[in-house]
């Protein structure tokens, strides 16, 4: 999967994940619908593709990034997301229906814990 280099901001969470800040954004999915939804009918593909092209339905890759004091600690993506509306997509991300945010916050916690351990050790100077 090749991801577009342009991401669109969707949501920023400054509460609920303290002390972290979570930013969710998205880019458009480039994988053909037929690859990710092989069981659907030809009519479904035509109708859905038209709605996606008109930007009536989001067909996207979502990304969650977790920051602490402005430093990015972790990020994850989830592709192949298809929703009936942009509102449904935003609600799904806000409620973390796919666990993307929870997984990314867990990764950030592990990263931060590792960094704290390193900060507690004295650097060794090699002469």
Per-residue pLDDT tens over the stretch 32-49: 999 999 999 999 999 999
54-86 confidence digits (pLDDT tens): 999 999 999 999 999 999 999 999 999 999 999
Distance (Å) of CA 19 to CA 13, 16, 70, 116, 117: 11, 9, 11, 15, 18
Name every residue whose Cβ is closer than 8 Å to that of residue 84 and which is 6 or more positions away in sequence: 57
84-120 confidence digits (pLDDT tens): 999 999 999 999 999 999 999 999 999 999 888 887 7
Bridge partners for 25 per DSSP: 9, 63
- For the chain, the structural domain boundaries read 8-119
Q: Is 106 exposed, middle or buried (0-12, 13-18, 19+ CB in 10 A)?
A: middle
β strands within 40-124, DSSP E: 59-68, 71-82
* pLDDT given for residue 5 in this prediction: 66
* pLDDT given for residue 1 in this prediction: 47
pTM for this prediction: 0.85
């Amino acid at each position: 999967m090749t991801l577009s280099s342009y991401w669109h901001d969707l949501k920023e969470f400054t509460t609920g994940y303290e002390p972290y800040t979570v930013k969710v954004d998205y880019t458009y999915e480039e994988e053909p619908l037929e690859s990710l939804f092989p069981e659907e009918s030809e009519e479904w593909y035509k109708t859905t593709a038209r709605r996606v092209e008109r930007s009536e339905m989001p067909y996207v890759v979502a990304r969650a990034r977790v920051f602490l004091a402005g430093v990015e600690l972790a990020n994850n993506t989830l592709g192949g997301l298809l929703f009936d509306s942009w509102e449904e997509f935003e609600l799904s991300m806000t409620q973390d229906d796919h666990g993307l945010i929870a997984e990314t916050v867990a990764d950030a916690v592990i990263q931060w814990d590792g960094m704290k351990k390193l900060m507690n050790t004295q650097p060794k100077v090699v002469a």
